[in-house]
Amino acid sequence: MLKPFLTTAAAALLLGSAAARAADVGMAIDVPCPFGDCKADTSLSYLGEYDIPTGFMENGVEVGGLSGIDFDPSTGHYVSISDDRSEKAPARFYDLDIDVSAAGLKGVTVLDHVTLKDKNGQPFAFRTVDSESVRIGKEGIYWSSEGDGKALLPPFVRVANRDGSFVRELPLPAGFAPTADKSTGIRDNLAFEGLTFLAGGDLLVGMESALYQDGRMTTLTNGALARLIRYDAATGEQKAQYVYPVSPIPQAAAKPGGWNDFGMSEILALDDRHALSIERGYAQDLGNSVVINMFDLEGATDVSNIPSLAKTDQRIVPVGKTQVMDLRALGLAPDNIEGVTFGKAKDGTDVLIFVADNNFNPTQKTQFFAFKVIRRPQ
């Protein structure tokens, strides 16, 4: 892992000189020459925050659990998928209008929702799906489910029509299906968290944390090895797998034995080799940590034929990774950030939008952050 590039604002906050001051609209975030590659320069400007309180209803359905978001250039709106396991309402995605411009983020309107259908054309039954990420592709809506490790339901990536109906499912590579003895496969609630289309059209699928056979989960002193699957989106053929090194848990819980965790919650391509990733976690009685990284696929080992990362003698080069920004260090108070997309504002401004999953918890909120994109890899 390369040493992170800190922005001026982030460095000042980490040093304590501005720790009590909230982020200001217009604050600049610059990442010069990540990985020593000045073609990957990134520059952003903060546009603000907008929150939807837990309990907000749209057409009789509670809005919440927003775990993925993508911009729809055909409408100028955004689709955002809920991770409701068909408990409060059938599994679904929402149609959002985000009022954002170079002047700032003014509001978010929930326009409608679309119910996702299973292979039989029916809404998903209670706790049979855990949708996490969504992207708009040439065929329709690509979306992922984490499955259910405890119930031995495998994760999947499917394609849906705009009306939520089933089109097809991408093949699941060997070693990802859950097992009763937990010897191989996904850990419960730590599976397919991220989707993104690379510039060349391939689909990248990101795990939240390590498969059982690939080693342990993150701790305060050790990270985890999460896999990235690269598909030919048109054929569904797997082309490669890479190792993404998830960082150790950045903060301990306030009290000994308190809950804390950390994992990768979304990925977003910048070009055909660079992408952003969200690593986020929670420390009990302290709050959320959210770090945005850039990673680089160039030179990473294809591990698709390595059954266990923990039991191999083969030399493995993971994807390169460097920090872009730490939302708390910027003076923000992030909730459970799980979705990110590039978008285009009505005034033509290129924007980067984040959304938080409120877990349908009254102490949390459906939170949006927006940044103006000044410069990014193309």
Within a domain: residue 215? Answer: yes
Is the four-CA dihedral 213, 217, 222, 225 of positive or negative sign? positive
Rounded-to-integer distance, Cα 108 and Cα 325, Å:
24
Rounded-to-integer distance, Cα 71 and Cα 21, Å:
31
Q: How far is CA 155 from CA 60, 164, 170, 185, 219, in A?
A: 29, 18, 11, 10, 24
Rounded-to-integer distance, Cα 108 and Cα 228, Å:
32
Within a domain: residue 64? Answer: yes
| Range in 14-28, 87-101, 103-117, 216-230 with the lowest mean pLDDT | 14-28
pLDDT confidence bin for 95, thresholds 50/70/90? very high
How confident is the model over 225-279, as pLDDT tens digits? 999 999 999 999 999 999 999 999 999 999 999 999 999 999 999 999 999 999 9
**Number of domains comprising the chain:** 1
How confident is the model over 334-347, as pLDDT tens digits? 999 999 999 999 99
Within a domain: residue 152? Answer: yes
DSSP per-residue codes, 28-62? EEEE-SGGG-GGG-EEEEEEEEEEEETT-EETTEE
Within a domain: residue 11? Answer: no
Within a domain: residue 129? Answer: yes
Q: H-helix or E-strand containing 10?
A: helix 8-14
How confident is the model over 154-181, as pLDDT tens digits? 999 999 999 999 999 999 999 999 999 9
Note whether 311 and 220 are within 8 A (CB): no
pLDDT confidence bin for 100, thresholds 50/70/90? very high
How confident is the model over 57-77, as pLDDT tens digits? 999 999 999 999 999 999 999
List the domain range (segments joined by +) for residue 267. Answer: 51-375
Within a domain: residue 32? Answer: no
Question: What pLDDT sits at residue 183?
Answer: 97
How confident is the model over 301-320, as pLDDT tens digits? 999 999 999 999 999 999 99
Question: What pLDDT sits at residue 19?
Answer: 34
Within a domain: residue 200? Answer: yes
Rounded-to-integer distance, Cα 229 and Cα 275, Å:
14
| The model scores a pTM over 0.75 | yes
Q: H-helix or E-strand containing 8?
A: helix 8-14
How confident is the model over 119-131, as pLDDT tens digits? 999 999 999 999 9
Q: For the domain that residue 346 is a member of, what is the CATH number?
A: 2.115.10
DSSP H helices in 205-343 = none
Note whether 133 and 68 are within 8 A (CB): yes
Within a domain: residue 38? Answer: no
